[in-house]
Structures are given as structure tokens and as C-alpha cells.
Amino acid sequence: MTIVAPAHPLTDAEVRRIKADFPILDQQVDGVPLVYLDSGATAERPRQVLDAERRFLEHDNAAVHRGAHTLAARSTDAYEDARATVAGFVNAASPSEVVWTANATDALNLVAYGIANASRGRGGPAAERFRLEPGDEVLVTEAEHHANLVPWQELALATGATLRWVPVDDTGCWTAADALALITDRTKVVAFAHVSNVTGMVAPVAELVTAAHAHGALVVLDACQSAPHRPLDVQELGVDFAAFSGHKMLGPNGIGVLWGRQELLDALPPFRTGGSMITTVTMEHTEFMPTPERFEAGTQPVSQAVALAEAVRYLQAIGMDRVRAHEEHLAQRMLTGLAAVPGITVVGPAAGVARSGLVSFDVDGVHAHDVSQYLDAQGIAVRSGHHCAQPLHRRLGLTATSRASTYVYTTDEDVDRFVRAVSEVRGYFRADGADA
């Protein structure tokens, strides 16, 4: 048996070399160097990605899968080469298992509305495997991003199925045991985030996949906070569908990825229709292309796909094991620092427990938006709000939290500046009980 040594976090020198690739990070905010800790919302882009998209637009840009001229051929090759690159990144069995979408939200809706179409008879006999009806159940968790909750609410309303959810505890986390207790023969879909965008919790994927498949249920993985930050091997995970977005992993806006098992994509009816995804159209009837084209109606995100592929190559050059190790190191450094600050409550796994490189927290007596504005005045960019996870915040008794999220360009110094600034917040707002 081959024993793989744990990956080491990036060294300070390596992170600084990486950070130099990001032009946007070389600026000051309010007279101090920018510390960008909002990568969980949108990551910045290195020169290599910016140059790849610009180079394509300046030399190869044309409609794909349409023309016979030279630029059309080059564009089509670049578009499909990008698909193959992303397929390799997640260890898909074939590039045809990768569907380009507008974003991860779009990808999750594609699955949910495809199942809804199958449930009303679209797709023929092959799509019967997706049919939902009253008595069936869809299982999510109370910690989901709205993008992996609302589509399933809509699916339940459309089919008469029941939406159920795994409850979270007082830290915002849930357990495999709680999930397994809710998976039964009535369960048809189990959908959950690989990594929570609020707590940083890493889901027990293997246990849920085993249980769901034992009961004949599909597993849909929201990989938005895992694909950019840790190795994502869809075959090893055993899930049926996975969704992630380009803009969270050093790539452009306007492109997302749906990965699905080939046999499932071939059977799933499309829900968005139009040009580019058809073989034959008459005034009475339409035949659709095979996957992945059947799900890519309209003008395709060609330059975005090219840029996303370059982002993938950039991450692969670093090594996803080292990306994960670097961010886990930063998260523990952040947790240790915040633990020494009075009046700070961190949600999610405790220090020492594996989590992604993001930390959400509440400052006693100070609203999250005020925290964010104070940090911004110190040149530190964080996210504030409910992070598109209102049910989770409601369960925790919070209207909002502040969230600091790291990436490959985040240094130890960035984290230390952040902790120092947070330690000043309650005093600045006179929420620490000290006299003015």
C-alpha cells in the first residue's frame, strides 16, 4: 500500500510569490495595504487567467459549434479543451460529464428542474428514474446556501414530494448520524454542501453517499466551497451530481460547472431550451442533442470557459493538497487569534477540528455590518450578512455574522492584521463596557 505524506502548507515565500500574480491585491484602501478576506464570495484572478481570456478574445473569438471558418474551429477547440481540463480537475470519467452553466446556482437548478420535468412525464422511459410524487422525500440540511435549498423547495411544490432537513446544533453543524436517521426508502434526493459557506464544516460525504445509494436516492453535492479549496474527486466521492462556480476559484463570472454521471445526464430531460442543444426541430416536435450539449442552450460562455481552464491549471500547479493544507493552517491561526478576543463567538467547528479556510463570527454588541465597515476602514475586506443562509442564522439566533475567508494568496500577516482589527471593534463602538 502506498502511503501519501500529508501536504505541507505553503511557505510564506511561496504565498508572496502567488500574491504577486494578482494585480488587484497590489493596492491600498484608506491608505493601508489591502487584505482581501472575502474569497468565499468571489476570489480574485491572477494575471495568467486575465491574460488567457484576453488572448482568446483578441485572437480566437467566434461562435462555437456553428461555423466552418478558421476562428470558429479554433474557438470550438478551445471551448472543448477547457471542458476536458475541468473534467480532469474533478476526475470525471469523461469530458462529456461536464456541463457548462451560468454559475453553480444555475447548475443546481438544472438538476432540480430537470427532475421536475421528468416527474411530469418529460424525457420518456429513461427519465422515469427521476420521477417524484407525493410520499417521496427530498433531504437537505438546515445549513444550506439558498441556492441548494430554494430549488428543492420548488421541486417539492411542483411534485407533491416532502422536503425534509437535517437539523444543525448550536454551533451550526450537523452530524452524519442525524442525516442517516432521516434517509429512508422514501428519500429520492439527498442534497448538501461539501463545505458550508458559513461554518466551514466539511460534510461526511462518504457516509451519506453509502446510505443514500442503499435506499436508491440520488446525491447532489454543492461543491462551491470545496472545488476551489481542496481536492475534488467526483468518482472517489461517489456522488451523482456536483456543482461549482468559476468566480470562486480564480476564474471569471458567468460560468459554472455541473458534473453528473454520464448515464444520469443522458436520462435527465433539459429545462432550458433553444438553439445549440437540438438535432431536429419541426413546428410540432424537437429532438435534443446528447449530453453535454443538451443542457447548453443559447450562446455559450466561451471566453469564460477558456479562463476557467487557465484557473484550473494555476491551481493544479500549486497542488490542491497544498491549497487545502494552507487554508486549514490559516483557519486554525484565525481561530486561535479570535479565541483570545473577548466578546467574539465563532460559529462552526471548534479550534483543532478540520474545517475550510473560512471563519464566521459574531461580535457581542456590534452588528455584523458595522464590523465589516470598521474592518474596511483598516483595509480589510470581509463579508457581512446572512451569507444566503437565513435558516442557519435563524437557528443560531443571529440576524447576521461577519465572515473572513482565505485563499492561496492569503498570508499569515493578513490573518494577524485581521485579528488585531477585530480586537479593536468592541472598543471602537463602546460595546466593551468601558467608559467613553
- Whether the predicted pLDDT of 152 surpasses 60: yes
pLDDT digits (tens, 9 = 90+) for 38-47: 999 999 999 9
Tell me how far apart the alpha carbons of residues 101 and 11 are, in angstroms, rounded to a whole number. Answer: 35
- Whether the predicted pLDDT of 436 surpasses 80: no
State the CATH architecture for 12-45+320-428.
Alpha-Beta Complex (3.90)
Sorted by where each begins, the domain ranges of the chain are 12-45+320-428, 50-316
pLDDT digits (tens, 9 = 90+) for 156-203: 999 999 999 999 999 999 999 999 999 999 999 999 999 999 999 999
pLDDT digits (tens, 9 = 90+) for 46-57: 999 999 999 999
CB 148 within 8 A of CB 188: no
- Closest-CA residue to 225 (of 254, 252, 203, 255): 203
**Residue 2 banded pLDDT, cuts 50, 70, 90:** very low
- Whether the predicted pLDDT of 342 surpasses 60: yes
Burial of 122 from C-beta contacts in 10 A (0-12 / 13-18 / 19+): middle
The residues annotated with a catalytic role in the active site are: 388
Compute the radius of gyration of the chain from its Cα atoms.
22
**Considering only the top CATH level, what class is 50-316?**
alpha beta
Query: Which segments of 80-143 are extended strands (E)?
Result: 98-101, 137-141
- Phi, then psi, of 80 in degrees rounded to 5: -75, -30
**Residue 275 banded pLDDT, cuts 50, 70, 90:** confident
Residue 263, pLDDT score:
97
Residue 78 Cα to chain centre, angstroms: 24
pLDDT digits (tens, 9 = 90+) for 344-363: 999 999 878 889 999 999 99
- Whether the predicted pLDDT of 109 surpasses 50: yes
CB 260 within 8 A of CB 99: yes
**Residue 66 banded pLDDT, cuts 50, 70, 90:** confident
**Residue 431 banded pLDDT, cuts 50, 70, 90:** confident
Residue 68, pLDDT score:
86
Total-model pTM: 0.96
